[in-house]
Amino acid sequence: MDSKVHSITEKRDQSTGMSVLLLGATGLIGKYCLEHLLASSSVEKVIAPTRRTINNRDKKLRNVLIDFDNLDEYEELFQVDAIICCLGTTIKQAGSKSAFRKVDYQYALEAAQLGRAKKAKAFYLVSAVGADAKSPFFYSRVKGELEKKLRQLEYDVLSVYQPSLLLGERENQRFAEHAFAKVARYTNPLLSGRLTKYSAVGAELVAKAMVNESLFHGKAVPAGPKVNVYRYDNIVTLAHNPENILKR
């Protein structure tokens, strides 16, 4: 864990701990979210529905094996204070565009709908830079369509994180990502102004930013609906110095 990544956990302890539903807990960003949530004294319970068992016996963790094609059968899991959604795949991994859309759009949207029905107040989503419902590119269009649908649910707080290339160790590291990660150390300093949003960013920084925001709000989520969109600069700030962005 990056010891320099700032935590606001101890500054905003709740009288009773918050409950968080974490989707995608075994993924690149999700695994770091899980680590930081479990380490927080502000969090009483982390519910992590997954396809495979998480090897963690933390007493705060409730790992439930589920069938994502039948999310409505697990609606009781969505009775939480906040939802962090790190679900995502690639067309290559999914096997087809339709399979990709099922994971990145259908599962995430159904989860958000269930959470809203169960009175969850905040939804934190990992999307992608360039997400646009009108994009000519399938990947960006699916991400944009999801963001558009989530806005219509009118969560008190909807925060959309739009990282570019993610850096970190994956279980199945893709060659292109590995190559780009090496190049990123040289290209990131060259990206400024409007191009800054395309800077590669560490998966743990994204995770910490999301957890920091969820802990800051805790149960005292401001009356919404309020939509936040965070790209590279804000993601880094939220991970290191969240008070610079999150103000009461």
Give the catalytic positions in this structure: 139, 143
In the block, residue with structure tokens 């992590």: 48
Looking at the DSSP bridge assignments, the partners of residue 187 are none
Nearest to 198 by CA among 226, 232, 175: 232
C-beta separation of 171 from 206 below 8 A:
no
Strands 122-126 and 82-85: parallel
Residue type, 236: V
Q: Any idea which residue has 């949003």 for tokens?
A: 197
Question: Rounded CA gap, 160 and 150, in Å?
Answer: 10
Number of alpha carbons in the 13 Å side-chain half-sphere of residue 100: 14
Within 10 A of 220 (CB to CB), how many other CB atoms are there?
A: 12
Token couple for 38: 């479990």
Number of helices (H) and strands (E), helices first, in the chain? Answer: 8, 9
**Residue 200's closest CA among 231, 230, 228?**
231
Determine the Cα–Cα distance for residues 152 and 31; give it in Å rounded to an integer. Answer: 28
Q: In Å, how far are 34, 36, 38, 48, 229 from 60, measured between CA atoms?
A: 11, 12, 7, 11, 30
